[in-house]
Amino acid sequence: MLNRLIALIVRHGVPLVALNVFLEQIGAPVPAIPSLLVAGGLSRDGRISSTHVVIAAVAASLVADWIWFVLGRWQGYRVLRLLCRISLSPDSCVRDTESNFDRWGMKSLLIAKFIPGFSTVAPPLAGATQRSTLEFLVYDAGGAILWAGSAVAAGRLFHHAIASILRRLENLGWWAVVFVVSALLLVIAAKWWQRMTFLKRLRVARISPAELKAMFDRGESPIVVDARSAGARKRDPRRIPTALSGDINELSHDLAGLPPHAEIILYCT
């Protein structure tokens, strides 16, 4: 069974790797690193071209990222909200990505694919900030080359270990397929559980805009903090009146002098 699978990878390896990379970059929970590592290991024995694998992976990544970039330019932050609804990563991915993007700018695309959650969110964020398409493609291609190239290089370097793992899987026969599918499902289940736990905590502490307005109408004075990043506040200057602006990483210091019973309400993108 595994011999046929390896033969399939050798015969159609480049398109298969490209499809795997495209699906991962478009947001599907199918990691591409394992296929890049296996392709790199097979290339060491001359069974597949590592150059072709890297080129195909970079091209597939650019196509997927460009789609998100165009959607980000067209729909702005609505695309980021959509990503957080369909992504298995917690919603904090957008805020963290925004902070990194504001700090490093387009250069962040060079390392985006090495940071979980950053890879999918960074392209639409670049589009939402109306960055140059050419600049985006240059930095995104550079990041894709570093990411795919390092994975293929690691596969070539550890080809003996990869070959040993493939032989062990081959000895399992059909159980190898069960093992691989089970591992993938376990990763997806773990991410789903992480997201559900995050959303459950969020629902407990959430307050709607109407409820906040009602509190003000009753004469209550909760402390409202605009926890958006500086870049987000610049791109969308609308804010709740009387809200304090601050870096969420510094809030524990900024709010240290408040009485323990004070109601604090934070809002972000």
How large is the average pLDDT for residues 198-210?
A: 65
Residue 197 to residue 88: CA distance in whole angstroms: 11
Do 223 and 187 lie in one domain? The reply is: no
**Total structural domains in the chain?**
2
Confidence band of 215 (pLDDT split at 50, 70, 90): confident
Do 131 and 80 lie in one domain? The reply is: yes
Q: What residue type is 177 in one-letter code?
A: V
Confidence band of 1 (pLDDT split at 50, 70, 90): very low
| DSSP designation for 261 | T
Do 27 and 140 lie in one domain? The reply is: yes
Query: Which of 158, 185, 203 is the last residue before a domain boundary?
Result: 203
Given a contact cutoff of 8 angstroms between Cβ atoms, the answer to whether 5 and 44 are in contact is: no
Q: Which domain holds residue 253?
A: 209-267
Do 146 and 244 lie in one domain? The reply is: no
Given a contact cutoff of 8 angstroms between Cβ atoms, the answer to whether 106 and 49 are in contact is: no
Query: Which of 184, 203, 222 is the last residue before a domain boundary?
Result: 203
Q: In what order do the strands lie in the sheet with 244-245?
A: 244-245, 223-226, 264-267
Do 43 and 73 lie in one domain? The reply is: yes
Strand ranges (E), the chain: 223-226, 244-245, 264-267
Q: Is pLDDT of 2 > 50?
A: no
pTM of structure:
0.63
Overall residue count recorded for the chain in this entry: 269
Tens-place pLDDT, residues 72-83: 888 776 776 666
Tens-place pLDDT, residues 167-188: 665 655 555 555 556 666 776 6
Q: Is pLDDT of 125 > 90?
A: no
Given a contact cutoff of 8 angstroms between Cβ atoms, the answer to whether 46 and 159 are in contact is: no
- The CATH number of the domain where 240 resides is what? 3.40.250.10
pLDDT for the residue numbered 73: 86
Tens-place pLDDT, residues 53-65: 999 999 999 999 9
| Category of 35 on φ-ψ map: left (φ > 0), alpha (ψ -120 to 50) or beta | alpha
Residues ≥6 apart with Cβ < 8 Å to 210: none
Which tokens is 5 given? 């699978």
